[in-house]
A and B are shown apart, each in its own frame.
Chain A
Amino acid sequence: MLIRYNKAINSALKEEMQKDPTVFIAGEDVANAGGSFGITRGLLDEFGPERVIDTPISESAIVGMAVGASSTGLRPVIEIMFMDFIAVCFDPIINQAAKMRYMSGGQMTLPLVIRTQSGAGVNAGPQHSQSLEALLFHIPGIKVVMPSNPYDAKGLLKASIRDNNPVVFIENKALYGMKGEVPEEDYTIPLGEAKIVKEGKDVTIVALGQMVNKAMAAAQTLENNGISPEIIDPRTISPLDTETIKQSVKKTGRLIIVHEAVKIGGVGAEIAAMVQEEVFDYLDAPIQRVAAPFTPVPYSKPLENYYLPNENDIIQAVNKICVGRQFSIAGHS
């Protein structure tokens, strides 16, 4: 079945709600209006106002409520309309959801999902365009998921809802209209399992979220130039599938990490550090990061275009560590 990313998320919600009566949805404009991005459309009609709840504009209370409901037997799936707004509800995420299990010596279980939507590219300005995954990635006790296509979005959301931990599920607004094959039958994708999107031998490109698609576009040009990239989509950044990344680096000897968030303190920094700690001897060139500059996301088109990493930036980074470095004879396989 060829469906869009937004529809894949909608059907994951619907199927999990059909399957498990403890799953419920809450958030701003999610019930009557079907969500600001139409993701929860139709769910109120099918499941009623007890299970699809329109809340006031109260991000802190929405997440805090999910902590309470999940620790007492329900499975809330709540929506924070823009990822930027998680800044408004950091306490319930960081001090409550992430630590309750630990602080209670393992007594409490918090099967909650925070669905949110991130990313630049639609001139939404500095408070509606951020990619803040690194802030959450840094916090032990929560899982962080970043699907890059409809198939993964559906399978990962189902796994997130069934998971017994707080999960932040980050949808990229630029991907809502993306089409992809999604099977009719039930499936899940385990959290913490990366996908090798494209096999290659010369350089490993680890890309997050919508950057996977930019990396795939760059791969075409690179192949034409005689460079074969291997592209990895971690799919969940916490937990991170370090094994798949290391195996790939052992094969290619080169690593590039691409994300939309600012480079400094980003997820790429952790991946680079992990790789040099654990498989340094296999590296033939310095690890490169392709990411946004250390600024807020600007509004105006030329500025936002400059800000967002693109295909060309990826190609340039690959050229920098491949061309003239005899990449074709590199490798340790």
Chain B
Amino acid sequence: MSQFSNDTLLSLYQTMVKIRGFEERVSSLFADGLIPGFLHLYIGQEAVASGICESLSKEDYITSTHRGHGHCIAKGADVKKMMAELFGKETGYCKGKGGSMHVVDVDLGILGANGIVGAGMPIAVGAGITAKTNNDGQVVIPFFGEGATGIGYFHEAVNMAAVLKLPIIFVCESNQYAEFTPRETHLPVKTIVERGAAYGIQSYLINGNDVLEVYQTMKTIINRTRNGEGPFLVECVTNRWSGHFEGDPQRYRPEGEIDEWKKNDPIKNFRSLLLSEYHIQESSLLSIEEAIRSELDDAEKFSRESPLPDELSTLEDVYA
């Protein structure tokens, strides 16, 4: 008997495939000129959001980043409304006002992707105070990149969460770059977990390309956080396969780097593992893949056919 139920294994696989599928779809729609603006893709990092959000419920909160599609999908966001938002359509999550960097679903505890690096972390501290007040075992997860640990927001938020003993798990996704700058150039430390020590919180370094390691470690940490042991800091080491944003020519990349990384594809690896170690039938995986393709086809159709917002809606939603 494996320590993971088949439901969990398939659910993890499903989330990762959905994120990858969504990102590949919007990448090609962007190339076709159907999605404007800045599009930061999550391809390569799917195991992180999927492995973590598997243990969250919709009562838990997350804050996300400019690279937020994966976090939102893993937390249960509706890909139709997400894609429509990227198209700038009226039926999108934010009625076309926000776009890719600002997807929000309050009912699912998604307190927003964010265009300002690090800004989600103090917001998570606030949600942590709410969670503590509610006293229902809710947890809060701010996602951020290693680059975001350069900004005061990170240090102030981690410190404050530690002082107030809030139910927060700070999740750093070290994808080796901040925009066009490799981590060695902007980080004087080898790991981000070293920084957690400075604030007196327990920190864990994990392989962010291994969805089972992420799931297992995080499940334990999330439970401990629900029991009042937080905050924690977790660094997930991973890779960003795409450019910083779509259209980035990536002159700064050493040759062959992405090919090397692709050999360690979190989805492919997990798929083989499911077949070989966990005796999952390939037909189950194929049907998941097929179902996602059709869900994304529907989302694309919905996005293409939805109306653009009326220009006068520009003036709405400024105040409550």
Residues on A lying within 8 angstroms of B by beta carbon are 28-29, 32-33, 36, 54-61, 84-85, 87-88, 122-128, 293-296, 298-303, 305-307
Q: Are B314 and A298 in touch, CB under 8 angstroms? A: yes
Contacts of B313 in A (CB 8 A): 303
The answer to whether B109 has its CB under 8 Å from any CB of chain A is no
> Contacts A33-B179, A300-B97 known; A59 to B37 CB distance under 8 Å?
no
Q: List 25 A-B contacts (CB under 8 A).
A: A28-B178, A32-B181, A32-B185, A33-B180, A56-B150, A56-B178, A56-B186, A56-B187, A57-B117, A84-B115, A84-B116, A126-B102, A127-B102, A293-B314, A294-B318, A295-B314, A298-B96, A299-B37, A299-B99, A299-B102, A300-B88, A300-B309, A302-B88, A303-B97, A303-B311
**Closest B residue by C-beta to A58:** B150
Quick one: which of A128, A294, A298, A299 has the most chain B CB within 10 A? Answer: A299
> Contacts A295-B314, A302-B309 known; A125 to B185 CB distance under 8 Å?
no
Q: Are A60 and B315 in touch, CB under 8 angstroms? A: no
> Contacts A36-B179, A85-B116, A299-B37 known; A125 to B99 CB distance under 8 Å?
yes
Q: Are A123 and B309 in touch, CB under 8 angstroms? A: no
Contacts of B185 in A (CB 8 A): 32, 54
Q: Report the minimum CB–CB distance from A263 to chain B (whole Å).
A: 13
A177, B94: Cα distance in complex, Å: 31
> Contacts A57-B118, A57-B186, A300-B89 known; A88 to B181 CB distance under 8 Å?
no
Q: Report the minimum CB–CB distance from B247 to chain A (whole Å).
A: 11
Q: Are B97 and A57 in touch, CB under 8 angstroms? A: no
Q: How many A-B contacts at CB < 8 Å in the complex? A: 123
Task: Name the one of A29, A61, A84, A294 contacting B179, with C-beta atoms under 8 angstroms.
Answer: A29
Which 7 interchain pairs have the tightest Cβ spacing? A56-B150, A300-B88, A300-B96, A127-B115, A299-B99, A33-B180, A123-B36
How many residues on chain B are close to A (CB under 8 Å)?
41
B141-191 CB contacts (< 8 Å) to partner A: 147-148, 150-152, 178-181, 185-187
Contacts of A61 in B (CB 8 A): 152
The answer to whether B286 has its CB under 8 Å from any CB of chain A is no
Q: Are B311 and A306 in touch, CB under 8 angstroms? A: yes
Q: Report the minimum CB–CB distance from B269 to chain A (whole Å).
A: 31
The answer to whether B302 has its CB under 8 Å from any CB of chain A is no
A294, B317: Cα distance in complex, Å: 11
B88-114 CB contacts (< 8 Å) to partner A: 88-89, 94, 96-102, 114
Contacts of A36 in B (CB 8 A): 179-180
Q: Are A306 and B314 in touch, CB under 8 angstroms? A: yes
Q: Report the minimum CB–CB distance from B288 to chain A (whole Å).
A: 32
> Contacts A33-B179, A126-B97 known; A57 to B115 CB distance under 8 Å?
no
> Contacts A300-B96, A300-B308, A301-B88 known; A122 to B181 CB distance under 8 Å?
no
